[in-house]
Chain A
């Protein structure tokens, strides 16, 4: 009796936490950016390096989401190049995985750190 096709009956909602965790995981796929220290009441706790995850906050409104990201950049990399790569990757990956359009990605670079992960010596 219903005219709508079987796959379009009902809505899908995605929790903000899901979007944030997807964005955090997507950021680990980007080279030369690392995590940021966790902040508890505006006080940084812990160090900022690759071992930490980047801090992502998401705001989902309907079919759109905006992201706020706090991350660190590996030292010799140009900051603007690294953040641009991170932004592009986030926009592509988050919209691909969640189906939400990413309208805005605000990035705060909280630290520059030396490369902690060892480079592969052999290929």
Chain B
């Protein structure tokens, strides 16, 4: 419908309309972000952070990010005043109405990756769509490593040793 509408407007030489729409795919699509009274743009980092937090919420996800990003974050966490960046390991592409998300995650040993990726996808898409009103077209998940119960680092013990 939108395609034919657009071609007919182009055909009938209503120049203002076609110039305004530029290279856009669909102008008349319903979106809360692009209205005739103005557009709302959402920065990549916003989507990135929402996606990272929504991913961490899912149990079975041990961490988000690749090896280098996680190592860098571990150092940053220890610097006073600096906080670990919550958007590491998440790459996003944000358009006017749609977003695509790529995640790098580390899973716990013992969970089914197929099931986990479904719940991560559901959680991330729900969170991003609810908060930003962007339509999430895809969430690609790359499982970079698995966390085994044996290879706990000292940070877990440091937390628990405070109160007995």
Q: Which residues of A contact B (CB under 8 A)?
A: 1-2, 6-15, 17-18, 21-22, 25, 96-99
> In the complex, what distance in Å separates the CA atom of A14 from the CA atom of B140?
11
Q: Are B146 and A9 in contact (CB under 8 A)?
A: no
Q: Are A15 and B110 in contact (CB under 8 A)?
A: no
Q: Are B142 and A10 in contact (CB under 8 A)?
A: no
* 28 A-B pairs whose Cβ atoms sit less than 8 Å apart in the complex: A1-B135, A6-B122, A7-B118, A7-B122, A9-B121, A9-B136, A10-B101, A10-B121, A11-B141, A12-B114, A12-B140, A13-B142, A14-B113, A14-B142, A17-B144, A18-B145, A18-B146, A21-B109, A21-B148, A22-B146, A25-B148, A97-B109, A97-B110, A97-B111, A97-B112, A97-B113, A99-B112, A99-B114
Quick one: CB contact mask for B91-128 with A, threshold 8 Å, 1 for yes? 00000000011000001011111100111011001100
Q: A2-B137, A18-B107 are in contact. Are A12 and B145 (CB under 8 A)?
A: no
Q: Are B137 and A12 in contact (CB under 8 A)?
A: no
Chain A residues with CB under 8 Å of B118's CB are: 7
Given contacts A9-B121, A99-B112, could you give 20 more A-B pairs where the C-beta distance is less than 8 Å?
A1-B29, A2-B137, A6-B121, A6-B126, A7-B118, A9-B125, A10-B100, A10-B121, A10-B139, A10-B140, A11-B138, A12-B114, A12-B140, A12-B143, A13-B140, A13-B141, A15-B143, A18-B145, A21-B109, A97-B113
Chain A nearest CB from B161 CB (Å) reads 27
Nearest opposing residue in chain B for A9, CB measure: B138
Chain A residues with CB under 8 Å of B138's CB are: 9-11
Chain B nearest CB from A102 CB (Å) reads 14
Q: Are B144 and A15 in contact (CB under 8 A)?
A: yes
Nearest opposing residue in chain B for A14, CB measure: B143
B126-164 interface with A by 8 A CB criterion: 126, 135-146, 148
Chain B residues with CB under 8 Å of A1's CB are: 29, 135
Chain B nearest CB from A39 CB (Å) reads 22
Q: Are A10 and B141 in contact (CB under 8 A)?
A: yes
Chain A residues with CB under 8 Å of B143's CB are: 12-15, 18
Nearest opposing residue in chain A for B148, CB measure: A25
Chain A nearest CB from B48 CB (Å) reads 16
> In the complex, what distance in Å separates the CA atom of A47 from the CA atom of B145?
26
